[in-house]
Every structure is written in structure tokens, then in C-alpha cells.
């Protein structure tokens, strides 16, 4: 981390080490000429400053390894590149922190640097900031990252599997089909949106697409409740899928809707106020337990 966070702004070249510091346009020589740098013994790398190296091109004497064609090519390339380097006599080299514009170290910039390259997805805020038991949230997270063991993924990995969607029995099982495209799923959502008075089910080709299309249907103050509702319905559809595959138990639309309603009531009794504002089922002044205790207390999840 430190190695990649620090570079040297060149002055007279007395501080920067020629072979190991990031002094050439923020890069090390081993980044620019890895084969050439590998042909230099360690004892030269640890002491050779830029000023010493550039004086009479002393750096060329440090190369002692085998002169392969790669080494020679990199040698020539580096030679040309070093022609444009100007040392500023009387100006000290400066060690700079790369993650701030001032070059000064700060703890916050170091902390942020650990998260560079982290990928995110558009529904992350809605997933983590709305209410649902952590088990459900993690399920949705796996779903959005295509990490659930649906038939298509099992086939891709060469594992034994069923192939057809157990909810409708007519399409290959993929997570986007199960939770967005399936006729059974769409019937459930049709009933849910009727109850919530949020219009008809939008045509969607993926879970994210369905979620993003549903959110604007609710007023701003009820979107968090709709996020909870989305996670709940998706979770219950997944449970229905599992029951059909592993327990050979099949629930019809009425039974699944009843199960969704009961779990929603439990969530509301656990204090999921936003869901209660969207779909009032439980009339309770103060929650009797926390939402994350649901699976322990009621064995529903």
C-alpha cells in the first residue's frame, strides 16, 4: 500500500533511488522496464540515487544480468526516455502522497484508497438502507450478483440440476426469470400491486429492472417501504421455489400471497414502520422485537 501510494517529485535527484522509487512520471523503472530492472543486482538498487545514475549514464553500469532481447529493447527505450529528464540543482526531491492534490498525507485519503476500484451497483443504497432481516438482504445481494445456485449456474459449472423453472414449468430456470419474468411471479406481483394500488406489473427482463421500474410508482416517502416489500416478495418466491424443488410442496397463488402477508405482518410487528406505511397490516405501537430477531423468534425466515 505504501509503495503504491508514494512518489518522488524530482529536484536534484539526491534523495530518489533510481531503480526503486516512483520518480519517472510517477512510475518506477521496474514498471517501465521490468526485464531490465530484473537484471540489476540488489546492492545497486538500494543505493543508486537518480543523480548518481544520470551522471555519465552510470545507471547503464548497474545492468549485470543476461542481455536478452527484452533487456536490450527496454534498455534502448529507457535510454531515450531519460534524455528528457532535467535535474534541478539546489532543489530537494520531494516525497509526495499520491492520493491528495497537495501531496500531503491524510488518513481519510489513505482510507479511501483502500476502496479504489470497488464496484457498486445502482440498487446498493436501497438494498442496505431499507429495512429487512439481514438474511433477506444478503439473499438479494447474492441475487443481484448472480450468485444464487439456480439451474443455469449449476449447468454452467457442470453440476447435476433440474433445468425447468419450478414455478411455471415452462422456461429454463435463471434468477431473472424466477424473480422477474416468470408467469407465476408476475401473477404474485399483479396481486401485490393491486393491493398497494401501484398499477400493473411492468415488463422486466431482470430483477434490477423490475425493482427500478417499481420504485417510481410509490411516492417518495413510501419508496423505502416498497424496497422492503420488494425484498420480501422476492425472498418468498425463492422460498416457494425451494419448497417445490426440495420438499416437493407446491403452494398456489392464494397460499403464497397468504404467506407473504403473514411475513409482512411479522416484519411490521418487529418495527418495520416504512413497510407498515405502505401496506398496513399490524397495528402495534411499539415493536416487541427487532427485525433481525425474526428468524430466531418466529422461525418464519
Residue 200: CB minimum distance to Zn ion, A: 19
Size of the site for Zn ion (CB under 5 A): 5
Binding segment (CB under 5 A) for Zn ion, from list 170-178, 206-214, 222-230, 234-242: 170-178
The smaller minimum CB distance to Zn ion, of residues 177 and 265, is found at 177
CA distance 178 to 184: 9
Return phi, psi of residue 49, to 5°.
-80, 165
56 burial level (CB within 10 Å; 0-12, 13-18, 19+): exposed
* H or E element that contains 8: strand 6-9
167 lies in the site for Zn ion, by CB under 5 A: yes
Residues 6+ apart with CB under 8 A from 68: 35
245 lies in the site for Zn ion, by CB under 5 A: no
The smaller minimum CB distance to Zn ion, of residues 21 and 181, is found at 181
Cell of 36: 531490465
Binding segment (CB under 5 A) for Zn ion, from list 55-63, 130-138, 144-152, 182-190: 182-190
* H or E element that contains 97: strand 94-97
Cell of 56: 555519465
210 lies in the site for Zn ion, by CB under 5 A: no
182 lies in the site for Zn ion, by CB under 5 A: yes
301 lies in the site for Zn ion, by CB under 5 A: no
Residue 226: CB minimum distance to Zn ion, A: 23
Residues 6+ apart with CB under 8 A from 8: 15, 16, 21, 22, 23, 93, 94, 95, 96
The DSSP bridge partners found for residue 172 are 164
Choose which of 165, 257, 264, 270 interacts with Zn ion (CB under 5 A).
165
168 lies in the site for Zn ion, by CB under 5 A: yes
Cell of 31: 514498471
151 lies in the site for Zn ion, by CB under 5 A: no
Binding segment (CB under 5 A) for Zn ion, from list 25-33, 151-159, 179-187, 195-203: 179-187
Residues that bind Zn ion (CB under 5 A): 165, 167-168, 171, 182
Amino acid at each position: 500500500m505504501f509503495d503504491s501510494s508514494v512518489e518522488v517529485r524530482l529536484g536534484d535527484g539526491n534523495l530518489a533511488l533510481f531503480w526503486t522509487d516512483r520518480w519517472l512520471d510517477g512510475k518506477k523503472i521496474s514498471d517501465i522496464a521490468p526485464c531490465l530492472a530484473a537484471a540489476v543486482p540488489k546492492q545497486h538498487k538500494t543505493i543508486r540515487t537518480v543523480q548518481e545514475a544520470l551522471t555519465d549514464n552510470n545507471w547503464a553500469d548497474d545492468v549485470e544480468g543476461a542481455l536478452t532481447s527484452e533487456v536490450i529493447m527496454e534498455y534502448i527505450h529507457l535510454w531515450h526516455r531519460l534524455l528528457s529528464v532535467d535535474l534541478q540543482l539546489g532543489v530537494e526531491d520531494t516525497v509526495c502522497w499520491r492520493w491528495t492534490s497537495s501531496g500531503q498525507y491524510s488518513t481519510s485519503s489513505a482510507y479511501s484508497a483502500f476502496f479504489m476500484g470497488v464496484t457498486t451497483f445502482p440498487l446498493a443504497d436501497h438494498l442496505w438502507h431499507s429495512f429487512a432481516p439481514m438474511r433477506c438482504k444478503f439473499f438479494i445481494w447474492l441475487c443481484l450478483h448472480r450468485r444464487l445456485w439456480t439451474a443455469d449456474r449449476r449447468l454452467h459449472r457442470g453440476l447435476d440440476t433440474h433445468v425447468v423453472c419450478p414455478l411455471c414449468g415452462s422456461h429454463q430456470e435463471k434468477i431473472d426469470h424466477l424473480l422477474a419474468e416468470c408467469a407465476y411471479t408476475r401473477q404474485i406481483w399483479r396481486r401485490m400491486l393491486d393491493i398497494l394500488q401501484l398499477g400493473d406489473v411492468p415488463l422486466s427482463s431482470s430483477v434490477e429492472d423490475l425493482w427500478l421500474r417499481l420504485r417510481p410508482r410509490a411516492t417518495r416517502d413510501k419508496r423505502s417501504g416498497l424496497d422492503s416489500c420488494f425484498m420480501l416478495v422476492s425472498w418468498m418466491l425463492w422460498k416457494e421455489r425451494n419448497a417445490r424443488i426440495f420438499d416437493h410442496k407446491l403452494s398456489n397463488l392464494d397460499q403464497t400471497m397468504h404467506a407473504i402477508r403473514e411475513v409482512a405482518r411479522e416484519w411490521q410487528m418487529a418495527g418495520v414502520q416504512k413497510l407498515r406505511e405502505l401496506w398496513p397490516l399490524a397495528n402495534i405501537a411499539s415493536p416487541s422485537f427487532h427485525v433481525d430477531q425474526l428468524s430466531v423468534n418466529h422461525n418464519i425466515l
